[in-house]
Structure 1
Amino acid sequence: MQNVKGTFDYVGAEQALRKKVQSVIEVNFELYDFDSIETPILNEQELLASKYAGGEEILKEMYQLSDQGNRQLGLRYDLTIPFAKVVALNPGLELPFKRYEIGKVFRDGPVKRGRLREFIQCDADVVGIQGPEAEAELMQLASTVFRQLGMDVVISWNNRQFLRELLACLGVAAADELSVMLTLDKIAKIGRDGVQAELNSKGLDAGVTRNIIGLISMDNPTLEQLTVKFDLGASRGAEEAAVLQALIDETGLGLVCRFDPFLSRGLSFYTGTVYEIFDETGLFGSSLGGGGRYDDIIGHLVGRDDLRYPAVGLSFGMESIMELLLEREMPTALGYVLVLPIGKEQTSLALKAAAKLRSAGIRTRVDASGRKLKKSLTSAASKGTRYVILIGDDEAAQGQVRLKDMRAMSESLISIEEAVYTIEKSLP
């Protein structure tokens, strides 16, 4: 008996940490006024394989199946296409519409560190805002979440339209744009020599390849430097990027956001801004999240390629975030109060005491297993339990409980109401 490759069970302290991370993300989704939605895991294969649905690479990884009616179906591989479907099916939605969804997605791809076949995505998207203020707000959201998780990150960003304009200045033909973008997107992984080797294999004109190598040899060029050097000031992509750069500078996001002229992200449906989130130290190579603008998907789904629904999204990489957090230190289990009846006849009193603790919002466990007292206390101490409530014959006769503080190595005979008050005062 074993799990399918690329899937895992999460239990104990690790699962507690996963839920904590998801809670931080969800609380901030709500704080930024995104509405929760839930979409089906099962979708029509035609929807998932639509022209703008993620590119050929992801479609190869889509789990495909058929039902008893021989309908061709697939498991969702992200949460963006299902969201686009929701907007397309509900033309009466008031715009702008902001939504978030946290759910499992599935990809039949290679398994490696931080990349699984069944994993959780945490997405926020907004449709109906044309300007880059939507991107800036999502960057603020990402910055807030990682700050609360105690993680120092860098948000690398670019504009794909600007990159297209840049490549055109270098002589790259429109037919080769996407292929060259995908190669440039890998520069951090394969280096300049790797990029040159890939470009040579594409059969590009030698002069064009030299121009591209000259570009990537520049020392961290800024948006302004590239705009001036290639005279792109009046181009659409440069204007969009300049407005976003101004918002980043004016809101203090410049502390975490870094312009990267070679970032394009692999998905072909992005039409403007793209961004990707990385560990600031650079020691952890996997992306911690990302997103971008995709103005063409929804119009395509409603059969109107000429109709643009401005949309932009952000996705947190739950598995990569967990990998990095677990790399730092193994989480401890959530603390709880242990209520321990000494003797079966005290079980009902223990349950009543636990009910009062839980009514006060205190996580409580009742141990009515009948184990020896010393063994139960040793087990509680090993799990970091601070408070144990003992109820034996003497305590029951006096209508009280014995509260043990395992940290202070003290105990007192008090009422359950006093015990609840004492424990509440010590909670963080």
Structure 2
Amino acid sequence: MQNVKGTYDFIGREQAVRLDVQTTLRELFELYGFEPVDTTVLNGLELLTSKYAGGDEILREMYRLTDQGGRELGLRYDLTIPFTKVIALNPGLEFPFKRYEMGKVFRDGPVKKGRLREFMQCDADVVGIAGPQAEAELLMLASDVFRKLKIPVVIKWNNRRFLGELLEKVGVPEEELLSVMLTLDKLAKAGSAGVIAELEAKGLTQEALTAIGDLLSGQQPTFDELASAYGLEGQPGALEVQSLERLLRAAGLGEQCIFDAFLSRGLSFYTGTVYEIFDASGAYTSSLGGGGRYDTIIGKLLQRDEPAYPAVGISFGIESIMAMLGERVLRERPAPVLILPLGDYMAEALGAAASLRSAGIRCEVDGGGRKLKKVLASASARGVRFCLIIGEEEASLGLVRLKDMLEQTEELMTADKAVWRIE
């Protein structure tokens, strides 16, 4: 018996840390005014394979199935496309609408550290704000998330509209812009030689290939250098970059958020700003999260040409974050109170447990039948502070014996007094 490749069960301490990460994210999502949403795991194949969805590469990794009625379905490969369906099906929603969602998604892709076939995504999205304010707030949120998690990060960002303006200037035809962008996004993995080789296969002119090669061969150019060198000042994409840059500086994120002219993200639906989050030390190379603006998906799903639903989102990768955190404790949890029935006193033990739990005190009732000495030694090793012992003497008096494992003291008392002492 074994797990399917790329899927894992999480138990004990590891699962506790995973829940801590999700709790941290949930607290910050709600601090920023996002509302919870839960979308469907099963979706119609037509929605997931729409030309407005994830693109050819991600569709190759999608799990497909057919139900007993012969309907073609698929498991969601991200949380964005199912969310666009929610917006499309609920025209009465008030905008701007800010949602967050945590749930599993599925991709039949290569398995490596931080990348699984069944994995958790944690997304936040804003629908109804066209300007850079939404992007700035999402990047502020990302900065706060990783500060809380004590993971130093850098956030690389770009604007696809600006990148398209730049590529047109060096001779890339309009119909090839998206394809070239997706190739440029492989720069960190494939290197400049690999990117140029892939671009040659796309049939670009030698002049365009030479210009792109020159851009890739030097140091990472700044936005100002590119805008000046290629006469892009005043272009729509360039103005969007300048607006967001100004907001990021005002928010104190000017150094943490780094402009990367060749970042474009691997999905086809992004229309403007895109960003990706990385370990600041560079030791862990996979992305810790990312996202961007996708202004056209919802309108196109509704068969409307205009961007009636400007939208932008960010996704945090729990698996990558866990690969960084390991078993680092994020939230200290006191060990539960251990209740020990000595002999046939389980009814009294459960009554005492009910009193503790109604007061919000975590507790466990031992039922192993082991010797008291061994149970106490095990409790001490687990860091248990208090044990409640109920034997013949305690039961006859209607009391419990509270043992303080730290102070090495014990005392007979009522269950109510024990609750008061433990609190």
1:79 maps to which residue? 79
Q: Is residue 69 of structure 1 aligned with residue 59 of structure 2? A: no
- For 1:234-262, what per-residue CA distance to the aligned partner results, in whole angstroms no more than 9, with x for missing partners? 11111011100100000112242111111
1:45 maps to which residue? 45
**CA distance, structure 1, for counterparts of residue 168 and residue 134 of structure 2:** 28
2:214 maps to which residue? 214
- For 1:50-74, what per-residue CA distance to the aligned partner results, in whole angstroms no more than 9, with x for missing partners? 1111000111111111112211111
- For 1:345-385, what per-residue CA distance to the aligned partner results, in whole angstroms no more than 9, with x for missing partners? 2x222222222221222221111222111222233233332
**Is the 1:294–1:311 Cα contact (8 Å) retained in structure 2?**
yes
**CA distance, structure 2, for counterparts of residue 350 and residue 41 of structure 1:** 42
**Is the 2:20–2:330 Cα contact (8 Å) retained in structure 1?**
no
**Is the 2:13–2:327 Cα contact (8 Å) retained in structure 1?**
no
2:395 maps to which residue? 396
Within 5 Å, give how 1:273-284 maps onto structure 2.
Answer: 273-284=273-284
**CA distance, structure 2, for counterparts of residue 150 and residue 349 of structure 1:** 45
TM-score in terms of structure 1 length = 0.93
1:291 maps to which residue? 291
**CA distance, structure 2, for counterparts of residue 216 and residue 53 of structure 1:** 29
CA 1:406–1:376: 2 relative to 1, 3 Å: same
In the TM superposition, residue 399 of structure 1 has moved relative to its aligned partner by: 4.2
1:136 maps to which residue? 136
Give SS of 1:74's match: strand
Give SS of 2:171's match: coil
1:70 partner amino acid: G
Task: Report which stretch shifted further, 123-132 or 4-13.
Answer: 4-13
- For 1:100-159, what per-residue CA distance to the aligned partner results, in whole angstroms no more than 9, with x for missing partners? 111111112222211111111111111100101001111111112222122111111111
CA 1:193–1:368: 2 relative to 1, 3 Å: same
Q: Is residue 421 of structure 1 aligned with residue 420 of structure 2? A: yes
Task: Report which stretch shifted further, 189-198 or 74-83.
Answer: 189-198
Q: Is residue 350 of structure 1 aligned with residue 352 of structure 2? A: no
**CA distance, structure 2, for counterparts of residue 94 and residue 370 of structure 1:** 59
2:127 partner amino acid: V
Give SS of 1:124's match: strand
Cα RMSD between the aligned structures? 2.1
**CA distance, structure 2, for counterparts of residue 189 and residue 407 of structure 1:** 54
Task: Report which stretch shifted further, 86-95 or 205-214.
Answer: 205-214
**CA distance, structure 1, for counterparts of residue 387 and residue 272 of structure 2:** 57
Task: Report which stretch shifted further, 359-368 or 310-319.
Answer: 359-368
- For 1:15-59, what per-residue CA distance to the aligned partner results, in whole angstroms no more than 9, with x for missing partners? 111111111111222221111122211111101111111000111
**CA distance, structure 2, for counterparts of residue 234 and residue 330 of structure 1:** 46
1:306 maps to which residue? 306
Give SS of 1:344's match: coil
Q: Is residue 116 of structure 1 aligned with residue 116 of structure 2? A: yes
Task: Report which stretch shifted further, 410-419 or 6-15.
Answer: 410-419
**CA distance, structure 2, for counterparts of residue 141 and residue 357 of structure 1:** 38
1:364 maps to which residue? 363
Within 5 Å, give how 1:31-42 maps onto structure 2.
Answer: 31-42=31-42
How many aligned positions are there? 423
1:151 maps to which residue? 151
**Is the 1:14–1:331 Cα contact (8 Å) retained in structure 2?**
no
**CA distance, structure 2, for counterparts of residue 253 and residue 408 of structure 1:** 48
Task: Report which stretch shifted further, 2-11 or 327-336.
Answer: 327-336
- For 1:276-333, what per-residue CA distance to the aligned partner results, in whole angstroms no more than 9, with x for missing partners? 1111111111111111100000011111133431000111101111121117689998
**CA distance, structure 2, for counterparts of residue 221 and residue 408 of structure 1:** 64
Give SS of 1:404's match: strand
CA 1:390–1:190: 2 relative to 1, 3 Å: same
- For 1:200-240, what per-residue CA distance to the aligned partner results, in whole angstroms no more than 9, with x for missing partners? 44343333222112212343332222222222111111101
1:125 partner amino acid: D
**Is the 1:12–1:333 Cα contact (8 Å) retained in structure 2?**
no
Consecutive unaligned residues of structure 1, counting only runs of 5 or more, are: none
**Is the 2:17–2:327 Cα contact (8 Å) retained in structure 1?**
no
TM-score in terms of structure 2 length = 0.94
CA 1:297–1:368: 2 relative to 1, 3 Å: same
**Is the 1:172–1:208 Cα contact (8 Å) retained in structure 2?**
yes
Residue identity over aligned pairs, in percent, reads 61
In the TM superposition, residue 414 of structure 1 has moved relative to its aligned partner by: 4.1
Task: Report which stretch shifted further, 166-175 or 130-139.
Answer: 166-175
Consecutive unaligned residues of structure 2, counting only runs of 5 or more, are: none
**CA distance, structure 2, for counterparts of residue 301 and residue 74 of structure 1:** 17
**CA distance, structure 2, for counterparts of residue 284 and residue 402 of structure 1:** 51
**Is the 1:164–1:177 Cα contact (8 Å) retained in structure 2?**
yes
Give SS of 2:207's match: helix
- For 1:76-95, what per-residue CA distance to the aligned partner results, in whole angstroms no more than 9, with x for missing partners? 11111111111111222111
1:384 partner amino acid: G
**CA distance, structure 1, for counterparts of residue 245 and residue 307 of structure 2:** 27
2:350 partner amino acid: L
Q: Is residue 19 of structure 1 aligned with residue 15 of structure 2? A: no
2:258 maps to which residue? 258
In the TM superposition, residue 407 of structure 1 has moved relative to its aligned partner by: 3.8
- For 1:169-225, what per-residue CA distance to the aligned partner results, in whole angstroms no more than 9, with x for missing partners? 222222332232222212222333333333344343333222112212343332222
